[in-house]
Amino acid sequence: MQNVKVLKAIIIMLAIALIAVAYKFTKGSVAPSNDTRIAVVLSKDERNLILKEMRNFLISVQGVSEAISNNDMHQVAKLSTEAGMKAEENAPGALLAKIPLEMKKLGFDTRQKFDQISADATTLKDPLHSRKQLDALMKNCIACHASYQLVEAK
């Protein structure tokens, strides 16, 4: 009987811990901001990593846009692949836990959109189609920047 009580207590404690981790993963590390956006609180290195990732997105978008203008669908596919989910492989798990769920969704969706641009550029070879896909991808960038700001933890 004593073993059952101990087992129940352990199960309850594990359930509470799991709920706390799931809540933290969903909510992220956020704080009130001085504007209408959500402030995502990160260490200096984490903030710099995400800002670098955003600059790389912008560089990729510019390169893909130029390649579309030049009707170079091979380059469209190459640059899009480099910015796709493959680039997410080295993302630190601790950083992902700090990012709110909706921001994570935007980030992953953006990478998946890059992958889709690459796949379609390879198979369809239609610059107008790729341009429309790139326009849709940019809406993710706009939504993220309109919704979130990255602040350094004090």
Query: Cα–Cα distance between 68 and 58 in angstroms, integer?
Result: 15
Given a contact cutoff of 8 angstroms between Cβ atoms, the answer to whether 126 and 120 are in contact is yes
Q: Residue 125 pLDDT > 70, yes or no? A: yes
Q: What is the pLDDT of residues 58-108, one digit of tens each?
A: 999 999 999 999 999 999 999 999 999 998 887 888 898 999 999 999 999
Q: Would you state the structure tokens that stand for residue 75, as one six-digit string? A: 């380059």
Provide the residue ranges of all domains of the chain, joining segments of one domain with +.
29-152
Structure confidence at residue 91 (pLDDT)? 82
Whose tokens are 């390879």? That residue is 122
**Residue closest to 57 by CA, chosen among 84, 86, 39:** 84
Q: Which architecture, in CATH terms, is 29-152?
A: Up-down Bundle (1.20)
Given a contact cutoff of 8 angstroms between Cβ atoms, the answer to whether 120 and 129 are in contact is yes
Ranges assigned E (strand) in the chain:
30-31, 38-42, 148-152
Handedness of CA 111, 81, 52, 135 (dihedral sign): negative
Given a contact cutoff of 8 angstroms between Cβ atoms, the answer to whether 67 and 79 are in contact is yes
Structure confidence at residue 1 (pLDDT)? 66
Q: Residue 142 pLDDT > 70, yes or no? A: yes
Q: What is the pLDDT of residues 91-102, one digit of tens each?
A: 888 898 999 999
